[in-house]
Amino acid sequence: MAALEERQRLARDLHDSVTQLIFSVMLMAQSVSPAYKRNVEEGERRIIRMMELSQQALTEMRALLAELRPVSPVENGLIPAVRQHIERIAARENITITLQEQNYTPQSRQTEEALYRIIQEAMNNTLKHAHATQAEITLERQQGQIRLSICDDGRGLEMGKLPPNQTGQFGLQGIRERVARLGGTMTMESRPGQGTTLQILFQETEP
């Protein structure tokens, strides 16, 4: 099940990032010749933009290929891994993401891998469904507990009117399963036009 979940996530990431970037390159390439005929400078600007998109696609593909190798994504720690993930998103999306650490201490490898996957899935939801322009990830240690909070300024949801069978469409089922394996709890607050806040709380583990 874990391997299947990771394959499904990689397929989503491939579709949401690399595929869309390559499609943008293709559209840009088709427009270069007409743009040159109208205005040389506009044609050159499109070529430069096409090169930028190609570089982003290459960077994203390399990152996804790296995840297929038998190496933990948190090999060098959770915080550096999350920062790299944020940088990859910022390179291709119009969103500002900040990471706040408040007394966070390294956890076990299994726990940090679970947290990394939770953050990945939550950010994927933010980009795909919320259409947010700003997001904040907070990792905090308080009295023997770890709290992960992910907030965005997206369009939000009307939680009371969301049918239970639709929660999976927002990637929540996979997150809930990972939180359950950590022995933690998850809460989500959201209102239309006021963004969404996801909070996860669990007992810290020995590194």
Q: Where are the domains of the chain?
A: 2-68, 78-203
Do residues 107 and 100 touch, judged by C-beta distance below 8 A? no
pLDDT of residue 70: 59
Average pLDDT over residues 93-111: 91
Q: Which of 203, 197, 206, 207 is nearest to 184 (CA)?
A: 203
Percentage above 70 pLDDT, the chain: 88
pLDDT of residue 205: 82
* pLDDT tens figures, 152-207: 998 887 766 554 444 444 567 888 888 999 999 999 998 888 899 999 999 988 77
Residue 12 has pLDDT above 90, yes or no: no
Residue 47 has pLDDT above 70, yes or no: yes
Do residues 101 and 136 touch, judged by C-beta distance below 8 A? no
* pLDDT tens figures, 118-151: 998 898 888 877 788 999 999 999 888 999 999 9
User: What's 78-203's CATH class?
Assistant: alpha beta
